[in-house]
Structure 1
Amino acid sequence: MFEVACIQLEARDVSQYEQTEKEILEWIDSLCSEEKVDLLVFPECAWPAYFLRENEEAAELALKRTPNFMKEVAQRAAHYRVHIAMGLYVQENGLLRNAGFLWGPEGEILGRVYKSNLWHFDRKFIEAGELFSVIDTSLGKLGMMICADGRAPEIARILAEKGAEVIIDMANLVSSASSTTLLMNPQIEYMLPVRAFENGVWIILCDKVGLEAYSIMNTGRSCVINPLGHVIGSSPSDTPEALIATVDTEMASYPLPDKENRCFARLTDPTEKLPVTSLMAKPMVLAETGAVCSAAHFSAETADHYVAMASRMIRVLQDQDASLISLPDCGKKADFDEVVHKLRPLLNPKVVVCVGGLAEIDGHKKRAAIAFSKDNTYGPIFLDKACRPVVFSTEAGRIGLVIEEEMFLPEVARSMMLEGVQVLFWADAKRHAMTEKIARCRAAENRVFLIRAGCGDKEDNSFIVSPTGNICAITVPGMDQSASAYCLLGEAYSKTVITGTDVVLGRLPHAYKELRNTSRKEE
């Protein structure tokens, strides 16, 4: 257990590097003199600034001063006997690096990281990092990542697989709003809580506030997130401050599905060999990929009642031009095969229905999911047999079936994305506190659509998420209802988040070799 202080700095232009240096050192002196803290965390590019082109002459002077600045930080770490994590630009072997350093209480550099998942114009100036180190310290095992690295599930996963108990995320998260008090970012809203949850680790995010170079509005909202995905402390979006929180590395995490004997070979395949890469390169008329997707939600007391409600929903939705329909889990209320048998004759030729429930295999009932049309069946996929994620090419697009807590593993949805999935269907029979955040994260980190079919309970619901992570249709809990959205499924093959950042082309699969140790079953 230890005390951490996230120092949320005011963003400044690189021309103000002298003031920036003074403020950073004053923050260290002030906090360590007044508070008992074990770890101080500063944002990405705390020194000298994030956008160096604002004043290239000042940037050159600042970068020359970097070694002296680092000595000042090291001296304070030793003097106050604290750990300090900080993001800064460094020049190494003729390369400019967006780096993060961890100093120990002796003033020594314990570890470093280089930004790997480059954001926007980063690629113009810096080299991507391939270093995912976990540092064994007196505080515990610490991993580090920088800003947009939090968007790539592989990076936090590698750190966790290497034993990280805490991941420090140094960031300059950007946003926009009509007021600085309203600023928010997807990483803060749902991505980083999911990273903490899916890896069973603490995440310490330190961000900046304010405007840099007239164009980079920092989000603030530095926070500390526990292994259950709960934010235990956060800063405002518009005020520099030191957020102090207690990190308990002994805290239990949620028991996640085992990854043993699963095949996630796609995660380390070369980008040029991925199915999604060839699909991304094919020309298309975006309007021709449009489809009405519908998420149905209803309760049923008996098998006959379930089939009757599903039949009514299908008739209504087909009249409203739905081509991909998800139904709530039929569970113990109806026989899985009987549901498919009775509903199939109702379908128009190009309509696909997805449903989860219990299906028989080897004489036992197992959790399963299936998709079917009037003429074809896709699956079933069984919960305990889903060792290799499968993508089906159907009349309504390329879909993947994910059952219950399998969605908690980022490798499942990630592998399906690399196989070229357009829509993830989540057959989920039990709502979790993290359900909505996980759904939004899986859609956004993979740039795909996601439809979650709830279990039909009064406190549950169904919804559709767009590739941006926004919920575009949702049902009201406790109401028999369907919610529909017009989805341009071709958008699932546009993997660009912003110019310079692509969730497929920006990956570094050759650097993810650690994932083979636990998640790759050789074919």
Structure 2
Amino acid sequence: MRLALVQIRGDTVYRYADTASRVKSMIEKACAEKPDFIVLPECAYPAYLIGPEQAIMEESLAGSEALLSAVSELARRNSVYICVGIAVKRGGKLFNAALTFDREGREIDFTAKTNLWHFDDRWFVRGTGYSAFETEFGRIGTMICADGRIPGIAGLLARDGAKLIIDPVNLVAAAERPEQLSNQQYEFILQERARENGVYIAVCDKCGVEGNVVTFLGRSFVVDPEGAMIDQCSPDREEIRIVDIDLSKSGPVSRGKVRPFGAMTKSVDELPLSAICGQPYTMEDLAIYTMLARFGSSSSKEYLEKALYYLKNAWTLRARLLVLPETPRAFAVDEFLLKTLSNELAQGYFAVLAGTVTVPMGSPAGAAVDFATKGAGGRKALLLSRGQPAQEIASAGLSNSPNASSVKIAQLGSAVRLGAMFDEGIHVPEIARTAMLQGADIMAYFDSSKGDSTLKAIKTRAAENKMFIVRSASAAGEDCSFIINPDGARVTTTLQAEEHSTAAYINTALSKFKSVVPGTDVAQGAFPELHAGLFSE
């Protein structure tokens, strides 16, 4: 399949007539390359910032249907699929929409942006659903810009059979020079979104600056089903990028059962997060100085000796949370190890670790179970505190895991809440999403893998949920443990080494504030009505 990404220069709504002419001209130029599918940006017409002057907005919108008729004719005349982002009225409502026309010029898809970004809701009404459409290449779906920040939207399209997701965007950025422009969706979110769903994603943006207010990223790009960026445009030039893809490489990914992730189908007002974020806190309650210790061990005795060493140093550093590495698979976590560590913890201090547990723990909370676990036992994440039984932090397995049950979190003091994940769980967005909706500020991620895709997944889980991810590396040889903040940035890291430690503040005021920009909130924008169709029973 041959794609054509038409990256156009952003312009103000006052120049809507010129914009319409450029859109048609760029489509004609793209047709000369004989593509199968042409993609244009979000709000290719009339502009992204269509307000605040009502008169010019209405004047420009009057030309939307005429432009759509012209695009339809270009699709028919050139026997090509075209997807164009446009501000258009339907049923008396104004939508930020993407319309797709088939080779005969027929409208075969109308998708309206659901996750309205920043000032979108000043004039747009949000969409209500997503579905894929048929082509001779396979099923294709459409989402629009900030929709890509909500994992369930791409998940719904993949579940509906989409092998390719078309993503018209107006990604914004800020930098001193165009070559420095970047954006979370460009850097990691959409690459992870493609990988976690096993689909291609074709992203088409504008370039330049609109009205000296909105700076576009440019860099229109295509990501393959493994999350690799296979081609991209420049950050600052109007251009047409031709990309050949093979949709047979797309593959379905299991989304699991609804039971562990039922929180995603409920209104946020019904969930713990709403009450948690509405409580009064002191700054001292919200901040927890956290130490990460990375080390290897060949026996339970050696693990305990090293854990005690770092536990004592955590007290010296006033690190109230110590994240220890997972114990090696060769030996199980036993009652002696847990009691010894718990007894050494100072009052108000906590330690979290993971390992294979073969004896029942004192808490009935459940288990954080590895997706590959077989039988009744399994790897579990455990929270330790002085004078208390080890508390199991429950996570969920894939649908084929005998231990798939629920996502549960643990509380540290009055204000901090912790969840857990293992290995491939980082590529299952519902786990961290459900933990966030239940109030988790931090996800402890016990990871025995290495690689760039894992780092991008960690950053994505942090940014899309506005939470901290603490990676505890357990791979043999040199590796690093680190903390990622709710913006997807690294707070601190150990050295790339077999043994090292680091410490930094985790301020959960940042994880309780779920607004990304004014008007866009990762919790209030969870869209529970969409997610019921994401899971199977």
Q: Same fold (TM over 0.5)?
A: yes
Q: Contact 2:394 / 2:407 at 8 angstroms: preserved in 1? A: no
Tell me: CA distance 1:367–1:258, structure 2 relative to 1, closer, same or farther (3 Å).
farther
Q: Contact 2:37 / 2:81 at 8 angstroms: preserved in 1? A: yes
Where does residue 387 of structure 1 map in the other structure? 405
Where does residue 469 of structure 1 map in the other structure? 488
Matched residues in 2 for 1:453 and 1:76: separation?
A: 54
How far 1:258 moved relative to its partner? 6.4
Where does residue 519 of structure 2 map in the other structure? 500
- Flag the structure with higher strand content: 1
> Quick one: which of 73, 76, 79 aligns to 1:75?
73
Q: Contact 1:193 / 1:230 at 8 angstroms: preserved in 2? A: yes
Tell me: CA distance 1:230–1:215, structure 2 relative to 1, closer, same or farther (3 Å).
same
Q: Does 1:225 align with 2:244?
A: no
Matched residues in 2 for 1:430 and 1:157: separation?
A: 24
Where does residue 382 of structure 2 map in the other structure? 370
Q: Contact 2:466 / 2:513 at 8 angstroms: preserved in 1? A: yes
Q: Give the TM-score normalised by structure 2.
A: 0.92
How far 1:219 moved relative to its partner? 0.7
Q: Which runs of 4+ in 1 moved over 3 A?
A: 54-58, 255-258, 361-365, 380-384
Where does residue 2 of structure 2 map in the other structure? 3
Matched residues in 1 for 2:404 and 2:292: separation?
A: 23
How far 1:150 moved relative to its partner? 0.5
Where does residue 203 of structure 2 map in the other structure? 205
How far 1:380 moved relative to its partner? 5.8
Residue type at the aligned position of 1:134: A
Q: Give the alignment of 1:8-407 within 5 angstroms.
A: 8-33=7-32, 35-53=33-51, 56-251=54-249, 259-260=256-257, 262-337=259-334, 338-360=336-358, 365-376=377-388, 377-379=390-392, 381=394, 384=401, 385-395=403-413, 397-407=416-426
Matched residues in 2 for 1:89 and 1:248: separation?
A: 31
Q: Contact 2:260 / 2:404 at 8 angstroms: preserved in 1? A: no
Matched residues in 2 for 1:277 and 1:13: separation?
A: 39
Q: Contact 1:54 / 1:213 at 8 angstroms: preserved in 2? A: no
Q: Contact 1:119 / 1:501 at 8 angstroms: preserved in 2? A: yes
Matched residues in 2 for 1:379 and 1:169: separation?
A: 40
Matched residues in 2 for 1:398 and 1:375: separation?
A: 19
Matched residues in 2 for 1:39 and 1:421: separation?
A: 42
Q: Which moved more, 1:127-136 or 1:387-396?
A: 387-396
Q: Contact 1:287 / 1:488 at 8 angstroms: preserved in 2? A: no
- In angstroms, what is the RMSD of aligned CA positions? 2.0
Tell me: CA distance 1:252–1:151, structure 2 relative to 1, closer, same or farther (3 Å).
closer
Residue type at the aligned position of 1:83: Y
- Cα deviation, 1:13-55, whole Å, max 9, x if unaligned, reads 111112211111111111212x121011011000110001265
Residue type at the aligned position of 1:323: R
Q: Which runs of 5+ in 1 are unaligned?
A: none
Residue type at the aligned position of 1:192: L
Q: Contact 1:294 / 1:485 at 8 angstroms: preserved in 2? A: yes
Matched residues in 2 for 1:286 and 1:25: separation?
A: 55
Residue type at the aligned position of 2:532: K
Secondary structure at the residue paired with 2:21? helix
How far 1:509 moved relative to its partner? 1.3
How far 1:163 moved relative to its partner? 1.2
Where does residue 429 of structure 2 map in the other structure? 410
> Quick one: which of 465, 486, 490 aligns to 2:509?
490
- Cα deviation, 1:35-84, whole Å, max 9, x if unaligned, reads 12101101100011000126543332221111111111000101111001
Tell me: CA distance 1:451–1:386, structure 2 relative to 1, closer, same or farther (3 Å).
farther
How far 1:470 moved relative to its partner? 1.0
Q: Which runs of 5+ in 2 are unaligned?
A: 361-374
